[in-house]
A and B are shown apart, each in its own frame.
Chain A
Amino acid sequence: GAVVSQHPSRVICKSGTSVKIECRSLDFQATTMFWYRQFPKQSLMLMATSNEGSKATYEQGVEKDKFLINHASLTLSTLTVTSAHPEDSSFYICSASHTTGDTQYFGPGTRLTVL
């Protein structure tokens, strides 16, 4: 149990385009999903916390208009990187926690490369 999927696993896009990343909890309901960014050989940096049916809470320094988060159901959250630039290239990982829990289960991550 507690399986989280993420799609796509890799994406290459041109500068100025938008990219959508999906995060799904496959076998449990997740009231809360989290989006992280990870640079090579660095730790996980929380970008935003996403609660089903409400607006995401963004960490300081993360532009909400650039990183659009939608948590439409208890099993799906999406992150859209709008007008992507090369500096947005990174490994984006989501996690999800059960409706009553605090343990976070991670998706496999999405490697974004912006040319």
Chain B
Amino acid sequence: GENVEQHPSTLSVQEGDSAVIKCTYSDSASNYFPWYKQELGKRPQLIIDIRSNVGEKKDQRIAVTLNKTAKHFSLHITETQPEDSAVYFCAGGGADGLTFGKGTHLIIQP
């Protein structure tokens, strides 16, 4: 089955700086890689996703890059704001299901 590794487990950045979270996956058949943001006690919210036929996708301050050869993908958040503080999960898989990384607790320092 798929195995998704996520780093770092905790990331603290100054407000306004950029944050980068990295994930690797093991199953070359995986073709869908979403990123979810989860605030304490709430549901995971999809913030961006990428499919294996694309190398990069951007939505305002958020971008995701995918390297299929190396089997890794990354989340980039620019100009971080206090409301970006949350736990972020990467996932890999497809229509049959997703395997989630262990999460990154992103802390935005004022």
Which positions in A face B, CB cutoff 8 Å? 32, 34, 42-44, 46, 49, 93, 97, 101-109
Contacts and interface: CB of A to CB of B under 8 A. Distances in A.
Given A44-B89, A49-B96, A101-B95, A107 B102 contact: no
Contacts, number: 45
Given A44-B89, A101-B95, A106 B44 contact: yes
Contacts of B94: 102
Interface of B is mostly: strand
Given A44-B89, A109-B42, 13 more contacts: A34-B97, A42-B103, A43-B89, A43-B101, A46-B97, A93-B44, A102-B32, A102-B95, A104-B34, A104-B98, A106-B36, A106-B43, A109-B41
Interface of B: 32, 34, 36, 41-46, 49, 89, 93-103
Contacts of A34: 97-98
B97 A108 contact: no
Nearest to B89: A43
B84 to A, nearest CB: 19
Nearest to A99: B95
B102 A43 contact: yes
Contacts of B36: 106
Contacts of B42: 108-109
